[in-house]
Amino acid sequence: MIVYAGPCISVRGIRFILFSQLQHLRIPRGPIWETIQLGAVSIRGKPYRDSDDYQIICPRCGTANGLINPGGDECANCQQMFYHSFSNFEPLPLVEFKVEDGLSDDEAFQPEL
C-alpha cells in the first residue's frame, strides 16, 4: 500500500500506516502480536483530526479530505481523482471536456466564430 501524504504528515498518520502494514504480517500469537493488535485498535478508535492547513479540499465538491484515504488519492465524497501540481502539491481544479458524437478532433479544436 503506497499512500501519498502530501508535503507534511502527522505522527498519528505514520502510526496508522505502520499498524495497517503490520497487521498483514504473519506474527505468532504472543506479546508482540497483542501489542500490534492493541495499537491498531487504539489508533483507529480515535477520531482523525488534522490541522485545517493539512486537509485537502476537493475542487469539485468542496469536501475537506484527510491526508490518508483508504480509497487512494481521491475525494471521499465524490470519488474525483486528485491531480497534484508539482510546484506546491495542491490539487488542480481540472475540467473534463467531452466531444460530441459526430464531431472530428480537428473540428473540436477550432474556435467557434
Q: Which residue has the higher pLDDT, 85 or 8?
A: 85
Which tens digits make up the pLDDT trace of 62-73? 888 877 777 788
b (16+ CB within 10 A) / e for 1-19: eebeebeebbeebeebbeb
Contact (Cβ atoms closer than 8 angstroms) between residue 17 and residue 3: yes
| Span 95-112, average pLDDT | 82
The domain ranges of the chain are 11-91
Q: Decide: helix, strand or coil at residue 28.
A: coil
Stretch among 45-49, 73-77, 109-113 having the lowest mean pLDDT: 45-49
**Could you give the count of Cα atoms lying within 13 Å of 4 in the half-sphere of its Cβ?**
14
Q: Decide: helix, strand or coil at residue 57.
A: strand
